[in-house]
A and B are shown apart, each in its own frame.
Chain A
Amino acid sequence: MRVLLVEDEAPLREQLERQLRAAGYVVDSAADGEEGLYFGREYDYDAAIIDIGLPKIDGLELIVRLRKDAHDFPVLILTARSHWQDKVTGLEAGADDYLAKPFHTEELLARLNALVRRSGGFASPLLEKGELALDTSRKEVTVSGNAVQLTAFEYRLLEYLLLNSDRVISKTELTDHLYEQDYDRDSNVIEVFIGRLRKKLDPDGALQPIKTVRGQGYRLAIDSSG
């Protein structure tokens, strides 16, 4: 998951960056609204965390401009406590949820997780697709009720495929959303990981959960009949 973080307070921004990365997110961070707008227009994100009080372009204005440019990724706004005016105008401007400062990191991650899930069309933290189930709060994966042990990257890869299972996802998109910017795009790491994931999820080849669409990318599709 690639997340845009726009926060002008350097200590908080750096702390959040570390915590988001530790939670498996790919993070781009911006220190002001202008930079935030540049990132938001340049890259495709799965979610954004935007502070309301930003220099250069105000957080609300930033959301309005991003929404006007048809960027519909979910936005979580950070407000000072006791500022309902900010919360309401933020949600009216196009944000999807708010969090009052000071907050606990667990709460931020839970809200972010819920937003990403919601935008993928899942109401509960348990993402299910046929025999495949991914519990986003426990970070556990089961196939037909049997737990599958995945590495952190494999888990993120599967989560992304699951949240976007309605469409074909290119290798480039996977690279963009799961790797930091300095990743070498020519390598075939994604193919290797897809191969490993297939083996772990479907050792006997009965489910075939990840389909390869030639020349386009991958698509998660599981027949519920199994």
Chain B
Amino acid sequence: MRVGLRTRVVLTTSLVLLIGLALGGWVLVRSFSASVVAGAEEQLRLVVYGLLGAADVDDQQLSFASDFAEPRFVLPESGLYALVENAAQETLWQSPSLQMTELESLHFNELDEPGRFDFHADERFFYMSYRVIWEDAGEVLLTFRVFTSREPYLAEISGFQRTLTIGVAGVVLLLIVAQYLAVAWGINPVKVMAQRVRDLENGHRQRLGEDFPPELTGLARNLDRFIAHEADSRDRYRRAMDDLAHSLKTPLAVLRNGLAEGQTDADGLLTEQLNRMETAVSYQLSRAVAPPSPMLTVPVPVAGSTRRICNALNVAYASKNVVAEQNIHEGLAVRVNEGDLLELLGNVIENAFKYCVSRVQVSAYRRFAGDPTSAQVVVVVEDDGEGIEPSLRAQVLARGARADTEAPGQGIGLAVVVELLNGYGGTLEIDAAELGGARVSLHLPAA
């Protein structure tokens, strides 16, 4: 089952919140109980000191100073009790509050050496015992035992627990509600985007728009670009196919008529039609092949592709002994599909190899055109051949555009390059090289 974004966030954070607060509450209750017990111990110790101070042993008889007054010792079942034992564990004195209590039900600890406080608890009482040797009356061993009911302390702890639970529950509730609202607010733009994508699918919208929070505008913009690119590719494809169909019709008609008439190719008419068809297919297919979306293109270093092309051409043109100079910074990269880059460079550099006398020079530089997103890499290919006449330059680039009326035998390499470049928003320029031949500059989107 797919769990929604909101459920995921609310569920996990609520769970963490609950566990965290429960753990915190438990620790608080524990430390509060410990401090309550420590308070009880301290209180009982003070009572023992009070008893010691008021006690007097005279002739084996224990008595208390008349001004010793602890009202809770007097009142039966008051909750605070005391008794004093001798060495034989016989009770010498007990507080009046003990009158109604069964002494057997009390759990006293056995004490070994004098001078030490012993504190412990059972279900009903906190006990504090202290053994002392009374030297004034000839070393009499006495044990003072004071104990108090646990009930008020337990009540205090459970009261604290109750308050804490209510408080924590309130906080948890508040946080969960706040969090739910925050998540709802936070994912609202995503819901809006999802709705708009549905609208796109239904054809109610053409683009997502830009009114999204900054975290999503990039995604929305990229999606819009992608959609526009797709639409553009479809359009290119359709137009190229239309043009191809159109430019094949004439030569096909000529060939069919020629066949019907039993015509031979003596005057080269049929060959000419075949050439036209070949040119039309190559050119229009190169137009139809849409380049991938710029965001899906990884940066490709220009130097590497140029090197591969030059090495390959050096093999293919081995007998010409062309000196190919490459002056390209290794870090220079373009956002062009690698195969397309090889196609572009291959066609242009091969022309240079074909028409040069002995030297070809390939260089590249980065050019900024104001906006950093439209930075370009310009690849310049020069040769020392005869160059291209200024009057012929436009014609060279336009070749293929009118494939159905074109003279046979003309190359369409540069026209294909121009079409491919168009897909990337790039351009091509032809002028004269310092080496003496043609200089072809390719403007490509920089990475």
- In the assembled complex, the Cα of A91 lies from the Cα of B312 at a distance in Å of 5
Which one of B308, B318, B347 contacts A88 once the chains associate, using CB atoms below 8 Å? B308
From known contacts A82-B416, A88-B312, infer whether A96 and B318 are also in contact, taking CB-CB under 8 Å: yes
Please encode chain A, from 152 to 185, with 1 for each CB lying within 8 Å of some chain B CB and 0 for all others.
Answer: 0000000000000000000000000000000000
Stretch from B153-161, B168-176, B278-286 at the A interface: B278-286
On whether the beta carbons of A92 and B282 are closer than 8 Å, the reply is: no
Find out whether the CB atom of B282 lies under 8 angstroms from the CB atom of A81: yes
Note all chain A residues with C-beta closer than 8 A to B345.
84
Interface of chain B, helix or strand or loop or mixed?
A: helix
User: Which of the residues B285, B318, B342, B416 comes within 8 Å of A85, measured between beta carbons?
Assistant: B342
Q: B111 interface residue, CB < 8 Å from A?
A: no
Q: What number of A-B contacts does a CB cutoff of 8 Å give?
A: 46
How far, in whole Å, are A83 and B416 apart by their CA atoms in the complex? 12
For residue A114, CB closer than 8 A to chain B, the reply is yes
Give chain B interface residues in 271-303, CB to chain A under 8 Å.
Answer: 278, 282, 285-286
Report chain B residues within 8 Å CB of A82: 282, 285-286, 343, 416
Size category, A interface: 10 to 19
Query: Is B316 in the interface zone, CB < 8 Å from A?
Result: yes
Dominant SS at the A interface?
mixed
Cβ-defined contact, B319 with A96, below 8 A: no
Q: Which of B282, B316, B338, B416 contacts A98 (CB 8 A)?
A: B316
What's the Cα separation between A114 and B315 when bound, in Å?
Answer: 13
Give CA–CA (A97, B315) in the complex, Å: 7
- B309 sits at the interface (CB 8 A): yes
Residues of A within 8 A of B (CB): 81-85, 87-88, 91-92, 95-98, 102, 114, 118, 123-124
Q: 22 A-B contacts, Cβ less than 8 Å apart?
A: A82-B286, A83-B343, A84-B342, A84-B345, A84-B346, A85-B342, A85-B343, A87-B312, A87-B316, A88-B346, A91-B315, A91-B316, A92-B312, A95-B315, A96-B315, A96-B316, A96-B318, A97-B315, A98-B316, A102-B278, A118-B318, A124-B319
Chain B interface residues toward A at CB < 8 A: 278, 282, 285-286, 308-309, 311-312, 315-316, 318-319, 338-339, 342-343, 345-347, 416
